[in-house]
């Protein structure tokens, strides 16, 4: 048997293991320092009450013969798809029920969607980037072209018409930079994709952090996007489902390439290689859209947004450049004095016991940048940013 | 963007939609006939009490800040992997913890594992077969060689040394035939695989139906199997998890092809394209292995096994040939008078209101065979087989 040799082209990622090692070594020699982690990309607030109630109720159903559920539809139960549909409706995006596919998370679908595409496609990926976009394409042996996201374009790169791309990744609000495209900018991307007969893979996992009414939460708020874009979203950040696992993917019926409907292909892929998300989890996810659910998740989101404001206010006071912090849980700051991001990591750790993520871990354009996140507690975030202010004032 | 053109080579499957249509038409014209379905491959008994308790308790944990769980390990929590390890230990199979990967079901992993293999491998698949093995390989453009499972070999085909294969599918107890390989037979397959440097994909989803102590529940009960086989199992049939979604895949560390460790490749695949199974579901699955859990799932399994015996006893009395029924939830019978399986389907439906699955739906070698399942209630299974006996006595 011949293995998929493309796996040999993957770089080992040492980012988070190196961070963990450095933190461990420092704390062993400095037991008196309280280390505060602002590097984590994981939620910390518990599931809201409405979701907990729905989960318990679904568990009860599974324990009684009359209400027990076996195999469900691979693409998700209608009760959840209808709730998602209504949520899009509120943002003036009209979808058909069969365009929505419930998943166990955006990461799974962002990887698995590549099954639908030929190996011989050129992939356009911004740098810096969520490493999964890169690795999943290396695994398939596709050619990747990087596009610079940097200070000059506000970390919101626009298409270069001299570059031909077939598969385009856009994440907005962005991980790691926190930058958010406006409708006009996304519209240029949509036009470029249609002109090049390309598909846009739009990662909207952080859409619930958008407060600015003028910024799009969905790419389908942009005209013609249904002709070129697949959208991936998740309950992970919206409702704290990182450990509960549920998301959804929208594959519009208008997406037709080489006489093939991507919607029909994805349905076939999912019915063949997936058996749907746990009924219990889908019931929990649907409670997110209830009136109480919406109120309760807003409290959690507001908590993280307040942390983001604590961080961005401190950077504002210090005159340190950054993107994100508004409409995003991530703050992407320029290392003072043009420091290398790993040197800056060491400085923060050893001087003030703060852990963040060096931008170099996300690509070349991150080598003088640093990512802070808003997912720790308010108290610790405040304490961390006081120490930060004292160091750089 | 060029789509994956291999999808165009997939046959549309009309098996279950045709069955549904025929049943609907018949019942509309025969409202007085109580139709009994023995075609379903889905469990009907609710989750056992121990699992329900564990699920509730995990939901509670997710609702409290102190016990909330965010992202877990992609390959599964140790508490569940350790429980699975102990279960293998009881069958005298010794595994390392990092050889076990918790999945959202065998179907997902059976499809996704193919990511690790080059397109240019020859795939050996028995006919009749669970259609997913075929379709997932057509999607990847691999060449498939079929091997006959028929009356002559008791639906347990053995390797043909003149055929070179790279990827070999074995499902035992088998879906749809219910036939089970013994250790000596599996040992011949293991030797063949090692000689051909092939990998065996061993689907053991129905292992919990094996009562005969001499029949292997795991391929690793056979010497050298760790050098050539990946095993896929599931809580779906074992503990009624078809709608709850959890399974596990074993990728031994000894599996090395072209200097590549399949275990390391699978870990990389899963950490890149998967985010693990819901903590809540994993807690529920781990309760299956508790003392109470084992007792309670045995009751459910015994219930289905009793149904299987009702069916096989009737066929014995009538002198109708079949495989399965013992050590398997499936009964694969030879249509009387060498009838075509669709004609037999029509006969059972119209004469006695019984619905089963025509063997033709599983491959050429099924065209004169018929699948009955043990997943309906005891009362309905008894009623169905009384009608069956009256028709064929």
Q: pLDDT digits over A169-214, tens only?
A: 999 999 999 999 999 999 999 999 999 999 999 999 999 999 999 9
Report whether pLDDT(A86) > 90.
yes
Query: Would the CB atoms of B132 and A272 count as touching at under 8 Å?
Result: yes
In 3D space, the residue among A286, A12, A287, A43 whose CA is nearest the CA of residue B275 turns out to be: A43
pLDDT band at A40 (very low <50, low <70, confident <90, very high): confident
State how far residue B155 is from chain A, nearest Cα, in angstroms: 24
In 3D space, the residue among B158, B160, B237, B161 whose CA is nearest the CA of residue B203 turns out to be: B237
Query: Residue B271: CB partners within 8 Å, gap ≥ 6?
Result: B74, B75
Whether the CB-CB separation of B106 and B236 falls below 8 Å is answered with yes
For the residues of A178-234, what is the DSSP string, one character each? -----HHHHHHHHHHHHHTT-EEEEE-TTGGG---TTS-SSGGGSTTGGGTEEEEEE
Query: Would the CB atoms of B1 and A166 count as touching at under 8 Å?
Result: yes
Confidence (pLDDT) at A15: 86
Chain A positions touching B62 (Cβ under 8 A) are 46-47, 52, 55, 243-244
Q: Measured between CB atoms, which of A45, A112, A118 is closest to B65?
A: A45
Relative to beta strand A229-234, strand A199-203 is parallel
Q: Measured between CB atoms, which of A112, A244, A278 is closest to B244?
A: A278
Chain B positions touching A276 (Cβ under 8 A) are 243, 245
In 3D space, the residue among B159, B179, B150 whose CA is nearest the CA of residue B368 turns out to be: B150
CATH number given to A5-46+292-392: 3.90.1150.10
Whether the CB-CB separation of A280 and B54 falls below 8 Å is answered with no
Query: Would the CB atoms of B1 and A268 count as touching at under 8 Å?
Result: no
Query: Would the CB atoms of A257 and B2 count as touching at under 8 Å?
Result: yes
Q: What count of other Cβ atoms lies within 10 Å of the Cβ of residue B362?
A: 26
In 3D space, the residue among A304, A381, A324 whose CA is nearest the CA of residue A38 turns out to be: A381
Q: Measured between CB atoms, which of A7, A265, A274 is closest to B7?
A: A265
Rounded to whole angstroms, the Cα distance separating A287 from A256 reads 33
Query: Would the CB atoms of B281 and A280 count as touching at under 8 Å?
Result: yes
Residues B89, B48, B99: CA angle, nearest 5 degrees: 30
The mean pLDDT value for A214-235 works out to 98
Query: Would the CB atoms of A3 and B269 count as touching at under 8 Å?
Result: no
Confidence (pLDDT) at A364: 96
Chain B positions touching A278 (Cβ under 8 A) are 104, 243-245, 278, 280-281
The mean pLDDT value for A276-291 works out to 98
Q: Measured between CB atoms, which of B64, B166, B268 is closest to A46?
A: B64
B73 touches chain A (CB under 8 A): no
The token duo for B27 is 């019942």
Confidence (pLDDT) at B13: 78
Confidence (pLDDT) at B107: 96
Which helix or strand (DSSP H or E) is residue A62 part of?
helix A49-62
B260 touches chain A (CB under 8 A): yes
Please state whether the predicted TM-score (pTM) of the whole model is above 0.90: yes
Nearest residue of B to residue A241 by CA position?
Answer: B70
Query: Would the CB atoms of B42 and A274 count as touching at under 8 Å?
Result: no
As a three-state string, the secondary structure of chain B is CCECHHHHHCCCCCHHHHHHHHHHHHHHHCCCCCCEECCCCCCCCCCCHHHHHHHHHHHHHHCCCCCCCCCCCCCCCHHHHHHHHHHHHHCCCCCCHHHEEEECCHHHHHHHHHHHECCCCEEEEEECCCHHHHHHHHHCCCEEEEEECCHHHCCCCCCCCCCCCCEEEEECCCCCCCCCCCHHHHHHHHHHHHHCCCEEEEECCCHHHCCCCCCCCCHHHCCCHHHCEEEEEEHHHHHCCCCCCCEEEECCCCCEECCEEHHHHHHHHHHHHCCCCCHHHHHHHHHCCCHHHHHHHHHHHHHHHHHHHHHHHHHHHHCCCEEECCCCCEEEEECHHHCCHHHHHHHHHHHHCEECEEHHHHCHHHCCEEEEECCCCHHHHHHHHHHHHHHHC
Fold of B14-43+292-392: 3.90.1150
Nearest residue of A to residue B246 by CA position?
Answer: A278
Whether the CB-CB separation of A371 and A41 falls below 8 Å is answered with no
pLDDT tens profile A289-298: 999 999 999 9
In 3D space, the residue among B237, B174, B233 whose CA is nearest the CA of residue B41 turns out to be: B237
Q: Name which of B55, B112, B243 to mutate to probe chain A: the one with the most chain A Cβ atoms within 10 A of its Cβ.
A: B243
Chain A positions touching B116 (Cβ under 8 A) are 3-4, 7
Report whether pLDDT(A14) > 90.
no
State how far residue A235 is from chain B, nearest Cα, in angstroms: 12
Chain B positions touching A122 (Cβ under 8 A) are none
B291 touches chain A (CB under 8 A): no
Rounded to whole angstroms, the Cα distance separating B42 from A232 reads 30
Query: Would the CB atoms of A240 and B68 count as touching at under 8 Å?
Result: yes
Q: What count of other Cβ atoms lies within 10 Å of the Cβ of residue B257?
A: 19
| Domain A49-290 bears CATH identifier 3.40.190.10 | no
CB within 8 Å of chain A, chain B residues 86-115: 104-105, 107-108, 110-112, 115
Q: What count of other Cβ atoms lies within 10 Å of the Cβ of residue A162?
A: 5
The backbone torsions φ and ψ at residue B372, rounded to the nearest 5 degrees and listed phi first, read -115, 150
CB within 8 Å of chain A, chain B residues 199-218: 199
Whether the CB-CB separation of A361 and A15 falls below 8 Å is answered with yes
Q: Measured between CB atoms, which of A1, A56, A111 is closest to B59?
A: A56
Confidence (pLDDT) at B41: 84
The mean pLDDT value for A252-267 works out to 97
In the DSSP assignment, the letter for residue A289 is T
Rounded to whole angstroms, the Cα distance separating B230 from B203 reads 9
Residues B267, A230, A145: CA angle, nearest 5 degrees: 65
Q: Measured between CB atoms, which of A65, A71, A268 is closest to B10?
A: A268
CB within 8 Å of chain B, chain A residues 219-238: none
Query: Would the CB atoms of A64 and B56 count as touching at under 8 Å?
Result: no
Chain B positions touching A269 (Cβ under 8 A) are 139
Architecture in CATH for domain B49-289: 3-Layer(aba) Sandwich (3.40)
Q: Measured between CB atoms, which of A52, A60, A198 is closest to B63?
A: A52
B49 touches chain A (CB under 8 A): yes
Q: Measured between CB atoms, which of A3, A42, A60 is closest to B257?
A: A3
- What is the interface size between A and B, counted as CB pairs within 8 Å? 228
A138 touches chain B (CB under 8 A): no
Rounded to whole angstroms, the Cα distance separating B137 from B116 reads 12
The mean pLDDT value for A60-71 works out to 97
> Which stretches of chain B score pLDDT less than 70?
none
CB within 8 Å of chain B, chain A residues 1-40: 1-5, 7-8, 10
Query: Would the CB atoms of A68 and B60 count as touching at under 8 Å?
Result: no
Query: Would the CB atoms of B68 and A52 count as touching at under 8 Å?
Result: no
Query: Would the CB atoms of A1 and B274 count as touching at under 8 Å?
Result: no
Query: Would the CB atoms of A10 and B277 count as touching at under 8 Å?
Result: no
Would you list the domain boundaries of chain B? 14-43+292-392, 49-289
């Amino acid at each position: 048997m011949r293995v998929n040799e493309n796996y040999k082209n993957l770089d080992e990622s040492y980012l988070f293991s190196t961070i963990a090692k450095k933190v461990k070594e420092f704390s062993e020699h400095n037991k008196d320092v309280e280390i505060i982690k602002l590097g984590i990309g994981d939620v910390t607030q518990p599931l809201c009450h409405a979701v907990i109630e729905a989960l318990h109720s679904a568990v009860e159903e599974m324990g009684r013969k009359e209400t027990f559920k076996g195999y469900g539809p691979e693409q998700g139960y209608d009760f959840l798809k209808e709730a998602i549909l209504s949520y899009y409706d509120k943002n003036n995006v009209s979808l058909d029920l069969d365009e929505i596919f419930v998943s166990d998370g955006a990461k799974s679908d962002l990887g698995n969607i590549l099954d639908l595409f030929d190996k011989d496609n050129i992939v356009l990926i911004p740098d810096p980037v969520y490493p999964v976009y890169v690795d999943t394409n290396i695994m398939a042996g596709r050619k990747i072209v990087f596009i610079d996201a940097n200070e000059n374009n506000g970390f919101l790169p626009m298409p270069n018409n001299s570059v031909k791309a077939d598969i385009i990744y856009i994440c907005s609000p962005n991980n790691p930079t926190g930058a958010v495209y406006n409708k006009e900018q996304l519209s240029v991307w949509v036009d470029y994709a249609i002109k090049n007969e390309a598909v846009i893979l739009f990662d909207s996992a952080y859409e619930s952090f958008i407060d600015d009414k003028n910024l799009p939460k969905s790419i389908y708020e942009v005209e013609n996007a249904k002709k070129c874009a697949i959208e991936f979203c998740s309950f992970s950040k919206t409702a704290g489902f990182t450990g509960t696992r549920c998301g959804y993917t929208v594959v519009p019926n208008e997406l037709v390439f080489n006489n093939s409907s991507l919607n029909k292909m994805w349905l076939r892929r999912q019915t063949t290689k997936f058996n749907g998300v746990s009924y219990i989890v889908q019931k929990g996810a649907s409670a997110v859209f209830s009136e109480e659910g919406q109120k309760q998740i807003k409290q959690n989101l507001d908590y993280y947004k307040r942390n983001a404001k604590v961080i961005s206010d401190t950077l504002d006071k210090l005159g340190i450049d950054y993107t994100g912090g508004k409409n995003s849980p991530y703050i992407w700051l320029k290392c003072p004095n043009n420091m290398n991001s790993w040197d800056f990591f060491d400085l923060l750790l050893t001087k003030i016991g703060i852990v963040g993520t060096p931008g170099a871990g996300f690509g070349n354009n991150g080598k003088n940048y640093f990512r802070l996140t808003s997912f720790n507690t308010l108290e610790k975030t405040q304490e961390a940013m006081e120490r930060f202010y004292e160091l750089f004032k």
